[in-house]
Structure 1
């Protein structure tokens, strides 16, 4: 394929406005412009025949897919498979996410991430380490025997990981992480997220002031919004610097609560979509294991034996449809929640999440009915479905 590419025949949403009767111009994997007339240039022209062209989705919390759970296969090939599978659902950049595990597994995951970056795995953005420095009280599906306080050794390893990868998110709880540690992580450019915590509103705000900028899966595994103690949920909504991921599968959060949160969130930080997807995505598997514990897939849920939700059985395109169709969120905002806002949350808005000149040519083509036609990364088609217009 030529490094010069022109996409015509699509209604284009650049994440700010729609462009009708326009063309997307790509060169060397980056967007040159959106123009009304075809420029005088050589290269390939693709006629999309009336599709919708939107920025590729960015998923900051992906535990697995295609039968691979990152905790069980923390390898280069594991990352490759996860990225390949999620591209089938419009995700063009993601953070493979490691749930609380042993030091050995964490080390292997980081090494795999460094290999994936060196190999240029399409869709690989960096890593998300969700734990082990969490709250026992709000552990969720995380193995309590592996939860522990952050030590100097842990902090040094995270700083080294950031230097090697350039994009790293860590989910921590104030119960097992100090203000000073968060300041050092944030100063190094690491995206610090509060999650699996029973912290108070006041403590959550103090950690935001120290540099924490994201809240992991809003409402789930955190102190709730009370009328005298607003908790982490209240801090996430009231503190403008916080971004917050949310799982839009209809099980993790009641739709009415999602709607209230989206409408009440103070900016500039926004609520964005995450899948929290597990190995079941793109497969018909009915069960898998997490830290030696069986997880069962049933009725759209993934559950431990006691009914605790263990990740989610959803993908990003389904999440976009959910907030658009079930909550009535305008399509434009639903798309921003899957692309622009997660890019903003991890500080990559200069080259991801919007179809602007100089940005990576990561985009998806959708039918008017919001079915995926194809996914593109760096101006290269990496997945094509067989849906008809």
Structure 2
């Protein structure tokens, strides 16, 4: 069905257009219609609120859970799809369900779930993110240290065989580069696994070496890694000084101080910083706690913490992250939106289809009110109001 959307402003991924219409059909954007042009033939014309903004749907590469579901606890395709549905209320039209450090059986079940979920049309599962288990025990954070380990041949065989089965989905692996040999890093990347530095004690030289090899990302910059010092810049210093990797940033006001976020944005090339939520099961619910590997995580004052105060994921959704990027960092609206859509699409190698509003691209869209709360979304051209759940 061809739909002609009119009335709202349109953010294309580069600029905001006034007075234009958008024609979508068969899950794709067919045309952007400038003022004065004759309306195109359509099966349905939809008049949107003129104060609203149409933007590319948000993409989130780090989502542990939502809607009361933890992917580690329920590593199934239905659970992954339910997590997407919970985050769709907040403008996210595609995400990587994320499994943190756990048993090999849990990771393999999560991989099979992702393969299944990616194949379901309109589901919004873009692949899988393994956050661990090949991380530094000294920077495990809320990850269970019992399951932290180094990769063996069976692990590498399993991971290297996964991208070919993913039917266009992506496999992202966060690891500590000091815990994985160069040959293993190269083998993983040659097989199509996207690698990201995180939960690491590596020195700056080791991190730069990882970037030289082709490691593309830095997972939740500043968190689960040493701080920057004048003679020991560490992973964060290497990430700020090197223009190649994409960095994820949790913009909730708790994980990173706003001044440090501003400094990071000033240091990084445009297009190399992404918003991530690191969201957990409470997103989309009023739950006050949940269980993670037998430990209770408490929801307190906008944070998710263990009993000792250690942060355990974030109490954040992508629409709130976009708003915070404006209010806490002071970024222009257009850049806030790019950090939630275009830049993660580029990081994942999906920029030919996602992250922009342009003819031929996917009709995955978010409709934002003037206060940047979400009125609803389109996925593959299909509308769902945010209050519909």
Residue 121 of structure 1: how far off its partner (Å):
5.0
Q: Aligned residue for 1:219?
A: 222
Paired with 1:109 and 1:21, the residues of 2 have a C-alpha distance of 45
Decide whether the 8 Å contact of 1:193 with 1:214 is kept in 2.
yes
Residue 153 of structure 1: how far off its partner (Å):
1.1
Residue 118 of structure 1: how far off its partner (Å):
2.3
Paired with 1:337 and 1:111, the residues of 2 have a C-alpha distance of 29
Are 2:195 and 1:192 aligned? yes
Q: Aligned residue for 1:115?
A: 116
Ranges in structure 1 where 5+ consecutive residues have no aligned partner = none
Are 2:95 and 1:78 aligned? no
Q: Aligned residue for 2:53?
A: 52
- Give the direction of change, closer, same or farther, for the CA distance of 1:244–1:261 in structure 2 (3 Å limit): same
Ranges in structure 2 where 5+ consecutive residues have no aligned partner = none
Paired with 1:372 and 1:15, the residues of 2 have a C-alpha distance of 18
Q: 3-state DSSP class of the match of 1:311?
A: strand
Paired with 1:168 and 1:121, the residues of 2 have a C-alpha distance of 19
Q: Aligned residue for 1:139?
A: 140
1:172-199: CA deviation from partner (whole Å, max 9, x where unpaired)? 1113211111112222222100000011
Decide whether the 8 Å contact of 2:114 with 2:127 is kept in 1.
yes
Paired with 1:357 and 1:160, the residues of 2 have a C-alpha distance of 34
Q: Aligned residue for 1:248?
A: 251
Moved runs in structure 1, 4+ residues, more than 6 A? none
Q: Which moved more, 1:90-99 or 1:42-51?
A: 42-51
TM-score normalised according to structure 2 size: 0.96
Q: Aligned residue for 1:342?
A: 344
Residue 27 of structure 1: how far off its partner (Å):
2.2
Paired with 2:42 and 2:320, the residues of 1 have a C-alpha distance of 37
Are 2:306 and 1:308 aligned? no
Residue 46 of structure 1: how far off its partner (Å):
1.0
Residue 38 of structure 1: how far off its partner (Å):
4.5
Q: 3-state DSSP class of the match of 1:329?
A: coil
Decide whether the 8 Å contact of 2:161 with 2:191 is kept in 1.
no
Decide whether the 8 Å contact of 1:372 with 1:385 is kept in 2.
no
Decide whether the 8 Å contact of 2:76 with 2:109 is kept in 1.
yes
Counterpart of 2:335 (choices 333, 336, 347) is 333
Decide whether the 8 Å contact of 1:5 with 1:27 is kept in 2.
yes
Decide whether the 8 Å contact of 1:100 with 1:147 is kept in 2.
yes
Decide whether the 8 Å contact of 1:87 with 1:383 is kept in 2.
no
Q: Aligned residue for 1:128?
A: 129
Paired with 2:145 and 2:339, the residues of 1 have a C-alpha distance of 32
Residue 385 of structure 1: how far off its partner (Å):
3.2
Q: Aligned residue for 2:322?
A: 320
Q: Aligned residue for 2:15?
A: 17
Q: Aligned residue for 1:383?
A: 385
